[in-house]
Amino acid sequence: MPLIVLSSNDGCAVARSNEAKALGIKMGEPLHELKRRFCMVDGTTMKPLTDSSLPRVVAFSANFELYGDISRRVAAVLARITPKLELYSIDEAFLDISKLNIRGYERWGRQLAAKIEREVGVPVSVGIAPTKTLCKLAADHVKHHPECEGAYYARNSREESLEATPIHNIWGIGWRLAPRLHAEGIHTAADLAAMRPKHAQQLMGILGRRTVAELNGLSCIPLSSTHKPQQVISRGRQFGHDTSDFATISAAVARMTNHACHALRKEGRLATRATIWLMTNRKKPNPTTAHHDIRLSTPIADTGNISHQLLTVLQQEFDAHHEWHKAEVTLWGLVPATELQMDVFNTIQHRLYAHSSTLMTTLDSINHIYGKGTLRYAAEDLSSAWYPRRAMQSPGYTSSWDDLPAVAASTW
Amino acid sequence: MTPPIVPEASELGTDVDVHAGFPNAAVDAPENALSLDRLLISSPHSTYLFRIRGHHWEHVGVFDGDIALVDRALTPRYGDAIVSQNEYGELILQRWHEPTTGQYWGVITTTIHPMRHR
């Protein structure tokens, strides 16, 4: 049966099986629109959501815990090949294999794909090329050509299998740029690669010029290290249901502040400014946003302290006349913890900071050992009404002791 | 699983003042702690946990409710217990008998049987 996975909050289709694609289900198609064309079936119970004779499509809510676990397993395999590894997203990674002693890139790639499929249990596509842009094209080629058996090596985009790639499928060419290029008669990877650098820059800026160079085999985008020091740290969520209830929204803000502060502490930095940002549903009339900025009294990374200051401001300025749809907390004006500018004579401030630092370290240690959320601030528990919808949630096969997959001891 | 209320101070990574009668060398050595993970899982990326359901393997000490550690990176040997799929796509326990061209999901390296149930 055709199968899809829904985005966070069960909003839209973000993964489609081949059968689902064949039915014409587009990437990002909203669930409510799918419900009009198909009879949606809850994947966890296999019961249809409606009584209809429309073609059936099975749907699951996203199981981020499972995807994250699988992603980490694949990353573990890749990390043993080379430390020059960039984890680009949950399901993509770049490896710099230039200095590895590999004879026969495609054979190496096929062996890697086979190893990952055997040992982790997921099929992967391996694209090998002199540049990242070409690698992505090569991997995409593998995905649509099973005869590659998991790997493909591309020297440049003039290869027969790649030259006809439509430009919107090329990394770096977005939906805004594509019409402009089509207007100039540039439709395929071959057309793009044949552009003169100055013309490319004129039409698409320096990034476009870089893409053209990469298509021709000239590497312009280095492997970035997985860790990039952040200038701002944001955590935001869409609510399960639009709400104007202050308690619900403050619980959500408390949780987001907790996550943001945790990330801040992991980076070894402190924040001097914080902002709450609220938005109503764009699809409903009179879309509105509201934001509340605060200057933190001292540079800190203390969850309790920052939550308190943010929730105080929220309480003072909260507008309950709107049904809010999503919220985001941003910590900015970040400084490294080691360079804390402190008033040398303010020993009270120094002691408070040292106390906060010890408390936060203890909090983080306990949550690290016993699981995220073991110890938390009460403000988070005011309400769970804001939790994103996950109506068709598959079991936490690798994340919950109660959800381990079963194997039947049925016969000896 | 209910964890103890207070973790060992040494696990918390904070500066701990141990007001003991005399210096306690044990506080400084968390890295040598015996780890069941390290004992039982030699290949984390390929090891998955399953729950045993059914009673037909009790005579070899595998009981309903036990946990099985299954490693996908191992090649089965004669006599191994493996996880494989039956004709309905369900996962089942099987003994690996060579020569065979059967499929396997993974090799069971360890099963865990609790002696006391909560």
Instruction: Give the pLDDT of chain B (118 residues) as one tens digit per residue.
Output: 554 455 454 454 445 444 545 656 655 556 678 889 999 999 999 999 999 999 999 999 999 999 999 999 999 998 899 999 988 889 999 998 865 557 899 999 999 999 998 7
Of the candidates A73, A405, A408, the beta carbon closest to that of B54 is on: A408
Question: How far apart are the C-alpha atoms of A129 and A214, rounded to whole Å?
Answer: 10
User: What is the C-alpha separation between A165 and A151, in angstroms, rounded?
Assistant: 18
Per-residue pLDDT reduced to its tens digit, A60-113: 999 999 999 999 999 999 999 999 999 999 999 999 999 999 999 999 999 999
**Is A180 in contact with A203 (CB distance < 8 Å)?**
yes
CA count, 13 A, side-chain hemisphere, A400? 11
**Structure confidence at residue B18 (pLDDT):** 46
Longest dimension (CA), chain A: 77
Given an 8 Å threshold on Cβ–Cβ distance, is A407 in contact with B52? Answer: yes
Could you tell me the two tokens for A303?
A: 């969850």
CA distance B55 to A409: 6
Q: How far apart are CA A15 and CA A316, in angstroms?
A: 42
Q: Which of residues 57-86 of B touch A (CB under 8 A)?
A: 57-59, 62, 64, 67-68, 70, 72-73, 83
Model pLDDT for residues A353-397, shown as the tens digit of each residue: 778 888 888 888 888 877 778 888 888 887 888 888 888 999 999
Residues of B in contact with A76 (CB under 8 A): 44-45
Q: What is the reported pLDDT for A174?
A: 84
State which residue of chain A sits closest to B108, comparing Cα positions: A407
Give the tokens for residue A240. 């399960």
Q: Please tell me which of the candidates A362, A405, A408 has its beta carbon nearest to residue B12.
A: A362
Task: Using only the alpha carbons of chain A, give its radius of gyration.
Answer: 25
Q: Are A363 and A259 in contact (CB under 8 A)?
A: no
Task: Going residue by residue through chain A, which has 412 residues, state the pLDDT in tens, using 9 for 90 and above.
Answer: 899 999 988 889 999 998 999 999 999 999 999 999 999 999 999 999 888 889 999 999 999 999 999 999 999 999 999 999 999 999 999 999 999 999 999 999 999 999 999 999 999 999 999 999 999 999 999 999 999 999 999 998 888 888 889 988 899 888 888 898 999 999 999 999 999 999 999 989 898 999 999 999 999 998 886 566 778 999 998 898 999 999 999 999 999 999 999 999 988 889 999 999 999 988 888 889 998 999 987 888 889 889 999 999 999 988 889 999 999 999 998 988 876 655 555 566 667 777 888 888 888 888 887 777 888 888 888 788 888 888 899 999 999 999 999 999 988 7
Cβ atoms within 10 Å of A274's Cβ, excluding its own: 25
Which B residues 17-36 touch A at CB under 8 Å?
none
Interface residues from chain A to B (CB-CB < 8 Å): 72-74, 76-77, 118-121, 358, 361-362, 365-366, 369-370, 398, 401, 404-412
Please name which of A220, A222, A171, A161 lies closest in space to residue A192, comparing C-alpha atoms.
Answer: A171
Nearest to B51 among A366, A369, A404 (CB): A404
| Interface mutation vs chain A, best among B17, B35, B48, most A CBs within 10 Å | B48
- What are the chain A neighbours of B64 within 8 Å (beta carbons)? 409
Which candidate, A88, A79, A81, A86, places its Cα nearest to that of A111?
Answer: A81
Please give, rounded to a whole number of angstroms, the shortest distance from the CA of B100 to a CA of chain A.
Answer: 17
Coil, helix or strand at residue B94 = strand
Q: What residues of chain A lie within 8 A of the CB of B48, using their CB?
A: 121, 398, 405
pLDDT confidence of residue A216: 93
Q: What pLDDT score does A361 carry?
A: 86
Q: Which residues of B touch A406 (CB under 8 A)?
A: 50-53, 91
A294, A275 in Cβ contact below 8 A?
yes
Please list, in sequence order, all residues whose beta carbon lies within 8 angstroms of the beta carbon of residue B76, skipping any fewer than 6 positions away: B82, B96, B104, B107
pLDDT at A376: 84
Contact check, Cβ <8 Å, A361/B57? no
Report residue B25: phi and psi, to 5°: -65, -25
Please give the pLDDT value at position A156. 87
Residue B59 DSSP one-character state:
G
**What integer pLDDT is reported at residue B2 of this predicted model?**
54
The residues near A228 (Cβ < 8 Å, ≥ 6 apart) are: none
How far off is chain A from B77, nearest CA to CA, in Å? 17
CB contact under 8 A, B50 and A370: no
User: CA end-to-end span of chain B, whole Å?
Assistant: 9
Q: What is the ipTM, given to two decimal places?
A: 0.78
**Are A216 and A157 in contact, with CB atoms under 8 Å apart?**
yes
Give contacts of A409 with chain B, Cβ < 8 Å: 52-58, 62, 64, 92-93
Amino acid making up residue B94: Q
User: What tokens appear for A120 in the block?
Assistant: 């982790």
Say what the pLDDT of residue A20 is: 94
Minimal C-alpha gap between A2 and chain B (Å): 17
Residue A389's pLDDT is 82
Q: Are the beta carbons of A362 and B14 separated by less than 8 Å? A: yes
Contact A412 B59 (CB under 8 A): yes
The answer to whether A31 and A8 are in contact (CB under 8 A) is: no
What pLDDT, on a 0 to 100 scale, did the predictor assign at position A341? 55
**CA A212, CA A198: separation in Å to the nearest integer?**
11
**Shortest distance, CA A298 to any CA of chain B (angstroms):** 23
- Three-state SS for chain A is CCEEEECHHHCEEEEECHHHHHCCCCCCCEHHHHHHHCEEEECCCCEECCCCCCCEEEEEECCHHHHHHHHHHHHHHHHCCCCCEEEEECCEEEECCCCCCCCCHHHHHHHHHHHHHHHCCCCCCEEECCCHHHHHHHHHHHHHCHHHCCEEECCCCCCCCCCCCEHHHCCCCCCCHHHHHHHCCCCEHHHHHCCCHHHHHHHHHHHHHHHHHHHCCCCCCCCCCCCCCCCCEEEEEEEEEEECCHHHHHHHHHHHHHHHHHHHHHCCEEEEEEEEEEEECCCCCCCCEEEEEEEEEEEECCHHHHHHHHHHHHHHHCCCCCCEEEEEEEEEEEEEHHHCCCCCCCHHHHHHHHHHHHHHHHHHHHHHHHCCCCCCCHHHHHCCCCCCCCCCECCCCCCCHHHCCEEECCCC
In angstroms, the separation between the Cα of residue B118 and the nearest Cα of chain A is 14
State pLDDT tens for residues B23-46.
Answer: 566 555 566 788 899 999 999 999
Q: Given an 8 Å threshold on Cβ–Cβ distance, is B64 in contact with A398?
A: no
Cα B19 from chain centroid (whole Å): 38
